[in-house]
Structure 1
Amino acid sequence: MSPVTIPVFFAGLAVCYLVERFKLFGYGAELPELVRKVLTDYDKKNSEKRTQQEKAQLLIQALIGIWLIVALALHLAEVGIIGLSVIILATTFCGITEEHALGKAFEEALPFTALLTVFFSVVAVIIDQQLFGPIIQFVLQASESSQLSLFYLFNGLLSAISDNVFVGTVYISEALSALQEGLISQSQYEHIGVAINTGTNLPSVATPNGQAAFLFLLTSALSPLIRLSYGRMVMMALPYTIVMTLLGLLAVEFWLVPMTHWLYEIGLIAIP
């Protein structure tokens, strides 16, 4: 992944600096001093009233946040199990014992959950009807050098329409089937896996449909308060979409295979 992700990461940082520095695409807004003073006074007042129990709860929540990051980074368990452990630890150590108090934590996510259910249904139909079959066959009939960029582009296009995780799941399952049928080699399968992974994550920032975090923000109660519409999110994501998509495509096309071979040679990754 690093031959693609590292240059894209630094390009993303450069875009972030430029749009903030020159106030492009709706970025670079400054917090008015009066608003900052109100927020500061409010925080100071709440901090003075905070009890030892509330301070302990904040500390526990911070530790649980660290556990979440470490567990996901090191793949210590399945994602669902890690999420469940966070819920259990947070409710247990923060003293949440009433069902109604627990239910409030899920109210914000209800619109987002409804959309996820729709996405699940769409993907289930796609898998059952094998709607991605013609695209997969078209890509697999291309030369090995062209397969990576085609997988990247098709994944990126579909991931901007539907959730990137679901699209990536369908494509990687089809690629695995091609490997098991002997249509591609193990080495090509691993390269395709990188192309699929990056293709589902980089171009998918184009719309809130593609990234679950964007979709959650759009459906949250905060969205109307900050005047965040679907069109505004697309516009604000546009510079990142263009830069990261194009650079990711260049990396997949020209750098992925030679850099992977070099990493094999120096022993940083194991030969399958």
Structure 2
Amino acid sequence: MQQSVVNATFKNFLGNAPKWYKYTIIAFLVINPILFEINAYLAGWVLVLEFIFTLAMALKCYPLQPGGLLAIEALLIGMTSAAQVEHEIAQNLDVILLLIFMVAGIYFMKDLLLYIFTKLVVTVRNKTILSLAFTCAAAFLSAFLDALTVMAVVIAVAMGFYSIYHKVASGKDSSSEHDINDDNQVHDINRKDLEDFRAFLRNLLMHASIGTALGGVCTMVGEPQNLIIAERASWLFGEFFFRMLPITLPVFIAGLATTFLLEKTKTFGYGAKLPDSIHAILKNEAQTLDKKRTKRDKVNLAIQSLIAIWLIIGLALHLATVGLIGLSVIILATASAGIIEEHQLGKAFEEALPFTALLCVFFAIVAVIIDQHLFTPVITWVLTFEGQLQLVMFFIANGLLSMVSDNVFVGTVYINEVAAALQAGQITRDQFDLLAVAINTGTNLPSVATPNGQAAFLFLLTSTLAPVLRLSYGRMVYMALPYTIVLTIVGLTFTYVGLNDMTELLYQWGLIQHHSGLAPTVVNGH
């Protein structure tokens, strides 16, 4: 009886995660208190590595549960305090509000985004131009919106198109029930077109994913860690954009050039064309939907366009914090669309809240790093380098860690440590600003190497569409490889040769300003 209870408890623990993963987490929980008694500094580093492991294994088990257990244990054994965790969360309240309200706000603007991407696919026949359009559209949207939401829209478009053709290829009409995972029903004559269509959709999804990284690095709302970095540096929307420009502009151009060359050379799995027969089917479906669109639907699209303009203006002029602007989008979009029931609002928050909870666990680990002074020797070593080489070392350090871990975690840790170095007088304010640029670009660009580093990539990989299109972890890494190489090399090059000079020019032109000290939150926090 007792054995059966133990077995049932073990099965319940972390659900369907592999047994070896469950045993590993249990081993972590057993080892940590022992190590902490022996050597607190060593135990702190082991905890950080364990947490990174849970992030890297996100496909086996969402990191909130195992990472949360590690964080709770760290509190119980005294690695940090609940007050310090609460302080870190309070200090990053704007980021939490960004995730809660901005993601939910964009959910209510999906009709407009779906309309844009659908029009792109059915009207642009040149595959190279279409790929560039997807990359640019994803980049622009991700600069102002949440990358996860942008990817959710692209996935929804691709899923809709795939479902339409899979039904036709299986001899079904549009109104009948159909399982898109079952290829046995597909007629032999359509199998080649179906494979080509899968490859075509894989190309567009990967280009769009890269686009979210190219755009997300540019603005303070593009990625959650950008907002943390902007707050530590006391930068508003415009200043953040211009400070990143010496690196983000050449990287963006290089990213588009890579898209162009991959489509022309048909390497790394790119260059797949949309068969004419499938284009005709999709175009006909889009025309049918246009005809079915009522006046109310058209008015809703127009209002969503106006809300999008308000969103861009509100962020650019920093009329309110990002979270509050997101809340205004929710109110405007739902009020204008007649969404007034509580249960209709709930779905919009489902996408963001798990990651918001995970972010709070991040801050618990950050609290451990601060209390145990874990990164102080690393930062001290990197700060022994001077000038541009120091910036390059920070870019590399952030990039390598972001490839295997989540870039929000990496960016938060490094900007906190650099802020502490500034307060201690180890670096000047001007050098701090340059290092903040290197940290932001370092966490955002090399992290495209793996789905672990970019939330949008992980979201795509774990979606129901990925197995349908045969988009595995290995294939994503392979297809992202040329982008990883190009974006990293270009980012490193301009960090080394152009960042100082271009920043000085921006000062002279009045686009950015000198800051005399730290943001108040950093002074209080460190």
Q: Does 1:230 align with 2:473?
A: yes
Q: CA deviation at 1:123?
A: 4.6
CA distance, structure 2, for counterparts of residue 12 and residue 253 of structure 1:
19
**Is the 2:254–2:487 contact (alpha carbons within 8 Å) kept by the matching residues of 1?**
yes
CA distance, structure 1, for counterparts of residue 306 and residue 465 of structure 2:
26
After superposition, the C-alpha distances for 1:133-165 in whole angstroms (9 at most, x for unaligned) are 332222123334432111111111122223323
Report the equivalent of 1:89: 332
Unpaired segments ≥5 residues, structure 1? none
Report the equivalent of 1:77: 320
After superposition, the C-alpha distances for 1:61-95 in whole angstroms (9 at most, x for unaligned) are 22223333333344333222222222222211111
Q: Does 1:177 align with 2:417?
A: no
**Is the 2:388–2:497 contact (alpha carbons within 8 Å) kept by the matching residues of 1?**
no
2:275 corresponds to which of 32, 57, 67: 32
Q: Structure 2 vs 1, CA of residues 215 and 198 (structure 1 numbering), >3 Å: closer, same or farther?
A: same
CA distance, structure 1, for counterparts of residue 416 and residue 451 of structure 2:
24
Q: CA deviation at 1:39?
A: 1.7
Q: Structure 2 vs 1, CA of residues 264 and 253 (structure 1 numbering), >3 Å: closer, same or farther?
A: same
Q: Does 1:57 align with 2:297?
A: no
Q: Which amino acid aligns with 1:124?
A: A
CA distance, structure 2, for counterparts of residue 246 and residue 229 of structure 1:
26
After superposition, the C-alpha distances for 1:44-65 in whole angstroms (9 at most, x for unaligned) are 2222222111111222222223
Q: CA deviation at 1:265?
A: 4.4
Q: Which amino acid aligns with 2:309?
A: I
**Is the 1:223–1:229 contact (alpha carbons within 8 Å) kept by the matching residues of 2?**
yes
Q: Which amino acid aligns with 2:336?
A: F
Report the equivalent of 1:124: 364
CA distance, structure 2, for counterparts of residue 99 and residue 227 of structure 1:
38
Question: Map of 1:118-157 to 2, 5 A cutoff?
Answer: 118=358, 120-130=360-370, 131-157=374-400
**Is the 2:382–2:390 contact (alpha carbons within 8 Å) kept by the matching residues of 1?**
yes
Unpaired segments ≥5 residues, structure 2? 1-243, 516-526
Q: Which amino acid aligns with 2:325?
A: I
1:210 corresponds to which of 453, 456, 460: 453
**Is the 2:388–2:495 contact (alpha carbons within 8 Å) kept by the matching residues of 1?**
no
CA distance, structure 2, for counterparts of residue 162 and residue 66 of structure 1:
34
After superposition, the C-alpha distances for 1:105-150 in whole angstroms (9 at most, x for unaligned) are 455x27xx53564454245214323443332222123334432111
**Is the 2:406–2:454 contact (alpha carbons within 8 Å) kept by the matching residues of 1?**
yes
Q: Which amino acid aligns with 2:264?
A: R
Report the equivalent of 2:409: 166
Q: CA RMSD in A?
A: 2.4
Q: CA deviation at 1:271?
A: 4.1
Report the equivalent of 2:66: none
Q: CA deviation at 1:267?
A: 4.8
The number of residue pairs the alignment matches comes to 269
Q: Does 1:46 align with 2:289?
A: yes
Report the equivalent of 2:79: none
After superposition, the C-alpha distances for 1:9-40 in whole angstroms (9 at most, x for unaligned) are 21111111001112222222222222222222
Q: Structure 2 vs 1, CA of residues 171 and 88 (structure 1 numbering), >3 Å: closer, same or farther?
A: same
CA distance, structure 1, for counterparts of residue 348 and residue 466 of structure 2:
18
Q: CA deviation at 1:266?
A: 5.2
Report the equivalent of 2:251: 8
Q: Does 1:246 align with 2:489?
A: yes
Q: Which amino acid aligns with 2:361?
A: S
After superposing on structure 2, the runs of 4+ consecutive aligned residues of structure 1 that deviate more than 4 Å are 265-268
Q: Structure 2 vs 1, CA of residues 97 and 266 (structure 1 numbering), >3 Å: closer, same or farther?
A: closer
Which one has the largest radius of gyration? Answer: 2
Q: CA deviation at 1:236?
A: 1.7
Q: Which amino acid aligns with 1:151?
A: F
Report the equivalent of 2:178: none
Q: Structure 2 vs 1, CA of residues 179 and 208 (structure 1 numbering), >3 Å: closer, same or farther?
A: same
Q: CA deviation at 1:184?
A: 0.4
Q: CA deviation at 1:205?
A: 1.4
CA distance, structure 1, for counterparts of residue 365 and residue 480 of structure 2:
29
